[in-house]
Amino acid sequence: MTREPIILAVPKGRILDEALPLLARAGIVPEAAFSDPGSRALRFATNRPDIDLIRVRAFDVATFVAHGAAQLGIVGSDVLGEFAYSELYAPVDLGIGHCRLSVAEPADLAATDDPRGWSHVRVATKYPHLTRRHFEARGVQAECVKLNGAMELAPKLGLAPRIVDLVSSGRTLKENGLVEVETIMAITSRLIVNRAAFKTRGEVVPLVDAFRRAVEEVAA
């Protein structure tokens, strides 16, 4: 009886561009259709008949792997921190997707503001749990308005005076008149594994080892 292929979930966007060379070093090369910008497919074969890729939103990578629909995935530590799935094991820091989760506010507010004096904040964010935990640890009450995008509009339109969002170069903040005032956490992308699959699918452990070696080769 032929076993179903191992499914590796990868995120759309910038992280994927950085992950593809690591995948290749680990011996996984997606089929040509994966790079076709006109393709609407979400599942792809690879050079290995025992491994398929699915390409989904970053937040959904963790969900697919946690529930066993995919056995492995690549996702940022921000997503792991936000959802804290007990079913996930994150054995390898891939050393890609470097960015940070930060608090930002309009430049004119920041000119006279001191975060050390905050007792209550209202922020727009895609990360309400991480945000609340961060501020609770400081004794600050955080009121979070959940948004999935266009965070930078929130202060301009009066939805919330501050935002918590991912920052890489800071260009998007600058173009929208915002500045960072506090960093919540540094972020990198991790290889994640479904805990049950790690124990029951013998092919998973060698794959984890292949990714670990690929990271070590890049760092060497």
Q: Tens of pLDDT along 138-170? A: 999 999 999 998 999 999 999 999 999 999 999
Q: Are 155 and 45 in contact (CB under 8 A)?
A: no
83 phi-psi bin (left φ>0, alpha ψ -120 to 50, beta other): alpha
Say if residue 74 is exposed, middle or buried (CB neighbours under 10 Å; 0-12, 13-18, 19+). buried
Positive/negative CA dihedral, 66, 70, 72, 74 = negative
Q: pLDDT tens, position by position, for the chain (220 residues)?
A: 557 899 999 998 889 999 999 999 999 999 999 988 888 899 999 999 999 999 999 999 999 999 999 999 999 999 999 988 889 999 999 999 999 999 999 999 999 999 889 999 999 999 999 999 999 999 999 999 999 989 999 999 999 999 999 999 999 999 999 999 999 999 999 999 999 999 999 999 999 999 999 999 888 7
Q: In the 3-class helix/strand/coil scheme, how is the chain assigned residue by residue?
A: CCCCCEEEEEECCHHHHHHHHHHHHCCCCECHHHHCCCCCCCEEEECCCCEEEEEECHHHHHHHHHCCCCCEEEEEHHHHHHHCCCCEEEEEECCCCCEEEEEEEEHHHHCCCCHHHCCEEEEEECCHHHHHHHHHHCCCEEEEEECCCCCCHHHHCCCCCEEEEEECCCHHHHHCCEEEEEEEEEECEEEEEEHHHHHHCCCHHHHHHHHHHHHHHHHC
Say if residue 113 is exposed, middle or buried (CB neighbours under 10 Å; 0-12, 13-18, 19+). middle
Nearest-5° Cα angle at 146, 141 to 149: 130
Supply 113's token pair. 């503001």
Q: What is the per-residue pLDDT for 2?
A: 59
Supply 118's token pair. 């905050």
Q: Which residues pair with 146 in a beta bridge?
A: 125
